Amino acid sequence: MATAGFNMKGNAWRGVKEYVAREIGLERAMECLKPETRAFFDQNFIASIWYDVRPVTEITQTVARLTGQLHALLCRSIGTFIYERDMSGIYRAILKFATPDLMVKALPLATTRYFDFVKLQTARVGPKAYDVTIMGVPAEAAATYVSVTSIFIERAIAGSGGKNVSAQCLAPTPGPTISGLPTSQIVRKLRWE
C-alpha cells in the first residue's frame, strides 16, 4: 500500500499491470521478480488508492529484459498505453478545446492524478517553450518516471494542437533526501511548433 510521500495511484499501477499482462503475461513477469515485489505486483490495485511507487523500476526493468527492449523504450510504451486508456472519451474532447499553453499550465494538477511526490514549477522561456522543473522524484525511479511521463506529456500537448512536440529531459540532479530516500530534480524542456 502507500508509503510516506512516494506513491503512485492505483489507476497507474493498473495500467502497468495491464501492459505487462498484454506484453509478456503476468506469470512470466512474476517468475522473475523478487518475492516482495511479486507479492506487491500480484495484488488487485484499486484505481483511487495510493500505492508505493518504488517497485515500478524493478518491474519495468524486468519486463524490458524479458522482452529485449531498452528500459526507456519500454517505459515510453507503458506511458503510451496509459495515455490512450485514460485519454479516451471526455478527456479527448477536452483536449480539442485546450491549447498547448493551457496543457502546460495544467501539468502540476494533472501530475497529482498519478503521483503524490512530484512538485512541478513551470517557466515560460519563449513562445511555445517552457522549462518544467520536476522535484521530489525518488532517485531510484527517476529514469522510469522521465520515460513514462515524457510520452504522456508529448501526446497531451500534441492533442491540444502542438506540432513536433519535444519533452526532452536533462540528466537528473540530486535533490534533497526525503523520509530517508534520496530524490532527484529533473528539468524537462517542452518545445513545440
pLDDT tens profile 131-157:
999 999 999 999 999 999 999 899 999
- Torsion, Cα 167 104 147 5, to 10 degrees, reads 150
Tens of pLDDT, residues 156-193: 999 899 999 999 999 999 999 998 899 999 999 999 99
Contacts of 40 (CB under 8 A, 6+ apart): 51, 52, 55
pTM: 0.91
Whole-number Cα distances in Å, 36 to 75, 140, 144: 22, 17, 20
The domains of the chain are located at 7-73, 86-191
Q: In CATH, what is the architecture of 86-191?
A: 2-Layer Sandwich (3.30)
In the chain, what's the furthest Cα-to-Cα distance? 50
Q: φ and ψ at 12, to 5 degrees? A: -70, -40
